[in-house]
Amino acid sequence: MPTAREALLDAAIAALAHRSWSTVRMADLAVAARVSRQTLYNEFGSKEGLARALVHREADSYLQGVRRLLAVPAPPERNLVAVAEWIVTRAAARPVLRSLLTGAWDERLPAPRPARPGARPAAVPAQRRADEGPPAPGELVAATAACAGERWAAGCELAVRLALSHVVAPAVPTVDQVRAGGQCAEPDSWSPITPTMTRLIEMILSVETTSPRKIIP
């Protein structure tokens, strides 16, 4: 059974699927999570604190997923391809993660601001960590590469950057979309990373990670 903190964060994510962050009410989140408003404020301090915790949990969950994929018994290049494919699919489905990885924040999402200097530290340890603010895109990419260990870090960074290029590249509009005004598909309808790109990543990593240098420029 999830803790009150997790239930509140889950309620916040669910609310973001239907409305912008500016219209999300703390009282509604407390009702959805079946906790008191006092419990909500005890955990997060304020709506801004909840926003920081929400974004921080998304980064933590992302890195846990990367570690899980890298731990699967398989050739390293295959694991790195799996990471790239997973990043594209997960980023398309989770707007907060997509913004964390690309730095492009939508006005519908929580603003990733750290706590104000001089503010009283939160009583909850998890909130003190969240109040430090989320990692910048470059820091998150570096943390992702570090999950692979020193030997495969360069290959992992390459896989991540190729995946992110797929995430941020504009979708090619169909003929019908062009006739309708040239609008591209929304992120949640993007197809997963293509088999061609998957083969490219696997080929590059297979060559580079087996070379005597063990370094990918």
Single-letter amino acid code for the residue at 29: L
Length of the chain: 217
Q: What is the pLDDT of residues 165-203, one digit of tens each?
A: 888 874 544 445 445 554 444 444 445 566 666 777 777
* Both structure tokens of 18: 């239907």
| Segments in the chain forming alpha helices (H) | 4-16, 26-33, 37-44, 47-70, 76-93, 95-102, 125-130, 137-146, 149-168, 175-179, 195-208
Domain residue spans of the chain: 45-208
Q: What is the pLDDT of residues 46-68, one digit of tens each?
A: 999 999 999 999 999 999 999 99
How many Cα neighbours within 13 Å face the side chain of 9? Answer: 22
pTM of the model: 0.81
